[in-house]
Amino acid sequence: FPLDLTRDVAREHGFTVDEAGFAAAMAEQRERARAAQKFGGFEAGEAERYASLLDHLRQQGQLEAEGVQHVYDVTTSVETRLVAILKDGQMVSQASAGEEVEVVLPVTPFYVESGGQVSDVGTIVHFCEGSDQPAWVIRVKDVRRPLSGLIVHIGQVESGSPHVGDSVWAGVDPDWRMSAARNHTATHLLQSALREVLGKHVQQAGSLVTPDRLRFDFTHPGMLTKRELEEVERRVNEAILADYPVQAEWTDYQSALKQGAIALFDEKYGERVRVIKVSAGDRLVSQELCGGTHVQRTSQIGFFHIVSEESIGAGKRRIEAVTGRAAYQLAWKRMSILDDAAAYLGCLPEEIDRKVLELMEENHRLVKEIENLRRELAKEEVDALVRQVREIHGIRVVSAEVKSASQMETLREMTDWLRDRLGSAVVVLGAVINNRPNLVAAITPDLVERGFHAGELVKSVARHVRGGGGGRPTLAQAGGSDPSRLPEALESVYSWVEHALSER
């Protein structure tokens, strides 16, 4: 029921509406909806189980009223306790090595997938008192928020037997977190550079941040030119080299917008928002509303390189890029290839483009020369075929396999030459091209008037090579799959002509 109507009805009956409570309940429902959408949705039973689990943990005092304390933006490890274990969706008191589990901690440093950034991975470990060897280890491979206030860590028991109530050390994989942070901060720098190079019409239309790469979707009417991509990449790397501080600030939503922070058009924000600002002095590089993980200074990104740029729909483009170790590995691999290519070409790496152009020009000249030689060979072969003409009841017929035709165009051209030389004739030429038999048949117009049809002829001949074809009365072609039967197919032309004459 609409809030304004509810307020009016309540006032008429002497009641007031708890609007703060209503807003909190709506925020919680939006969080549930986002979580359901993000993870494909939960079945009714699953949603009820998670809600029941959260209520149970709150009633038992295992979780505070707000639920799991999420400290991902403060630390990457915490000492806490294990308050719940789920196996196959059911609460249990313990688990064994090798089992897949979901576990709940009162406080967690693990980032939960949101805003395009994937969840953290890491470990949850229990040590017995006085021992430096873990009693059990859970390898966390995913983290989810099925509903507001509840965060579950999904993983496998690597060793030992976890029990509810055990004290634990929970830690995020530092390389995973740092690589994801590099890529997330780089997306902010990328959006800023795109808006500077292309214009303020550029808006984020989606993103994916993983430890090994980043993907950024944005609004723009056309493909970026090579020069535009180079300029965007240069600006991002200039910001990295400038070693700007990256600061996270909490403020209210309206204040953030008034200060110029960029917000996603279709994202729902609460009253308090987190602003990620990249700036130094009067120089503001980037300012966005964001809940993801980020580096402390831009220089920690290391290096940024655009891998691809493509269209993903009308008015939308996508850039994929790498940073940090992934960018270094890509650069090293390509430099290694460049050095090898220079060695093969006998030149310096910086001379490869010139050397390749020279080779391309030489190759083009040689291809032309080869084509001319093939044409000369084809003409000589046609001269020889003219001397192989058979006459069947006054009709000249040539049917032969040619060796100088390496493509269908040459085969057709040779057929035309023969037909023109003979004046009135039936011509069928065959050749094995790319290990497959090909045929071209040509019949001069005067014989077409007598009822002969090149399409019918080539279709009949092609059956011998397990193929088919067709075409016009004067010119037709066919292909097959059995090159060994090409001589047999070509020999059948003469019997076809005799049969055709007998029917006329």
Contact 276, 188 (CB under 8 A): yes
Per the domain annotation, does 343 fall within a domain?
no
Per the domain annotation, does 48 fall within a domain?
no
Contact 82, 107 (CB under 8 A): no
In order of 5, 6, 9, the CA distances from 2 in angstroms are: 6, 6, 11
Indicate which CATH number applies to the domain containing 389: 3.10.310.40
pLDDT at residue 375, rounded to an integer: 85
Compute the average pLDDT of residues 371-393: 89
pLDDT at residue 361, rounded to an integer: 96
Q: Which stretches of 87-223 are DSSP H helices? A: 174-198
Closest residue by Cα to residue 411 from 325, 502, 486: 486
Tell me the pLDDT band of 26, cut-offs 50, 70 and 90: low
Task: Tell me: do 114 and 32 sit in the same domain.
Answer: no
Tell me the pLDDT band of 23, cut-offs 50, 70 and 90: low
**DSSP category for residue 91:** E
Of 152, 172, 192, at which residue does a domain stop?
172
For the chain, first and last CA: distance in Å?
A: 89
Per the domain annotation, does 338 fall within a domain?
no
Compute the average pLDDT of residues 470-479: 93
Task: Tell me: do 313 and 264 sit in the same domain.
Answer: yes
**Is the pLDDT reported for residue 222 higher than 80?**
yes
Rounded Cα distance between 196 and 193, Å, is 5
CA 404 to chain centre: 44
Task: Tell me: do 132 and 192 sit in the same domain.
Answer: no
**Is the pLDDT reported for residue 2 higher than 70?**
no
Rounded Cα distance between 443 and 423, Å, is 10
Of 172, 189, 211, at which residue does a domain stop?
172
Per the domain annotation, does 477 fall within a domain?
yes
Per the domain annotation, does 356 fall within a domain?
no
The predicted-structure confidence for 92-102, as pLDDT tens digits, reads as follows 999 999 999 99
**Is the pLDDT reported for residue 66 higher than 80?**
yes
Task: Tell me: do 374 and 424 sit in the same domain.
Answer: yes
Task: Tell me: do 413 and 387 sit in the same domain.
Answer: yes
Give 195: exposed, middle or buried? Use CB within 10 Å, 0-12, 13-18, 19+. middle
- For CA atoms 117, 118, 119, 120, give the dihedral sign: negative
DSSP 192-249: HHHHHHH-TT--EEEEEE-SS-EEEEEE-SSPPPHHHHHHHHHHHHHHHHTT-BEEEE
The predicted-structure confidence for 311-360, as pLDDT tens digits, reads as follows 999 999 999 999 999 999 999 999 999 999 999 999 999 999 999 999 99
| 27 Rama sector, left if φ>0, alpha if ψ -120 to 50, beta otherwise | alpha
pLDDT at residue 30, rounded to an integer: 57
- Give the CB-side neighbour count of residue 15, counting CA atoms within 13 A: 10
3-class DSSP assignment, residue 58: helix
Task: Tell me: do 221 and 77 sit in the same domain.
Answer: no
Task: Tell me: do 388 and 498 sit in the same domain.
Answer: yes
Contact 176, 210 (CB under 8 A): no
Which strand (E) or helix (H) includes residue 460? helix 454-462
Quote the mean pLDDT of the chain. 91
Task: Tell me: do 498 and 421 sit in the same domain.
Answer: yes
Cβ atoms < 10 Å from Cβ of 392: 15
Tell me the pLDDT band of 148, cut-offs 50, 70 and 90: very high
- Give the CB-side neighbour count of residue 175, counting CA atoms within 13 A: 3
Compute the average pLDDT of residues 63-68: 95
Task: Tell me: do 122 and 189 sit in the same domain.
Answer: no
CA 388 to chain centre: 59
Radius of gyration of the chain (CA): 37
**Is the pLDDT reported for residue 404 higher than 90?**
no
pLDDT at residue 309, rounded to an integer: 97
Task: Tell me: do 166 and 187 sit in the same domain.
Answer: no
Rounded Cα distance between 111 and 124, Å, is 14
Tell me the pLDDT band of 42, cut-offs 50, 70 and 90: very low
Please give the share of the chain, as a percent, with pLDDT higher than 90.
Answer: 76
**Is the pLDDT reported for residue 503 higher than 90?**
no
pLDDT at residue 34, rounded to an integer: 52
Which strand (E) or helix (H) includes residue 79? strand 77-81
Count how many domains the chain has.
4
Rounded Cα distance between 178 and 191, Å, is 20
β-bridge pairing 390-392 and 436-443: unpaired
Indicate which CATH number applies to the domain containing 295: 3.30.980.10
**Is the pLDDT reported for residue 300 higher than 90?**
yes
- Give the CB-side neighbour count of residue 14, counting CA atoms within 13 A: 0
Taking each helix axis as running N to C, give the angle between helix 352-386 and helix 324-345, from 0 to 180 degrees, rounded to the nearest 10: 60
Compute the average pLDDT of residues 163-181: 97
Please give the share of the chain, as a percent, with pLDDT higher than 70.
Answer: 92
In order of 127, 139, 166, 378, the CA distances from 79 in angstroms are: 11, 16, 11, 84
Of 131, 148, 172, at which residue does a domain stop?
172
pLDDT at residue 33, rounded to an integer: 54
pLDDT at residue 267, rounded to an integer: 72
Per the domain annotation, does 100 fall within a domain?
yes
Compute the average pLDDT of residues 204-220: 96
Contact 401, 490 (CB under 8 A): yes
The predicted-structure confidence for 406-436, as pLDDT tens digits, reads as follows 889 889 999 989 988 898 999 999 999 999 9
Task: Tell me: do 265 and 191 sit in the same domain.
Answer: yes
The predicted-structure confidence for 125-134, as pLDDT tens digits, reads as follows 999 988 889 9
Indicate which CATH number applies to the domain containing 71: 2.40.30.130
Non-local CB neighbours of 150 within 8 Å, separated by 6+ positions: 50, 53, 54, 67, 68, 104
Rounded Cα distance between 61 and 375, Å, is 91
Q: 394: which 2 tokens?
A: 């006054």
Task: Identify the residue whose tokens are 């019918």.
Answer: 456
Rounded Cα distance between 374 and 413, Å, is 12
Task: Tell me: do 30 and 72 sit in the same domain.
Answer: no
**Is the pLDDT reported for residue 16 higher than 80?**
no
pLDDT at residue 247, rounded to an integer: 95
Compute the average pLDDT of residues 281-285: 90
Domain assignment of residue 486, given as a range = 369-503
Q: What is the residue type of 302? A: G
pLDDT at residue 37, rounded to an integer: 46
Q: 473: which 2 tokens?
A: 């009365």
Per the domain annotation, does 326 fall within a domain?
yes
Cβ atoms < 10 Å from Cβ of 201: 11
Per the domain annotation, does 123 fall within a domain?
yes
Q: What is the residue type of 442? A: A
pLDDT at residue 234, rounded to an integer: 98
9 or 123: which leads in pLDDT: 123
pLDDT at residue 398, rounded to an integer: 93
3-class DSSP assignment, residue 343: helix
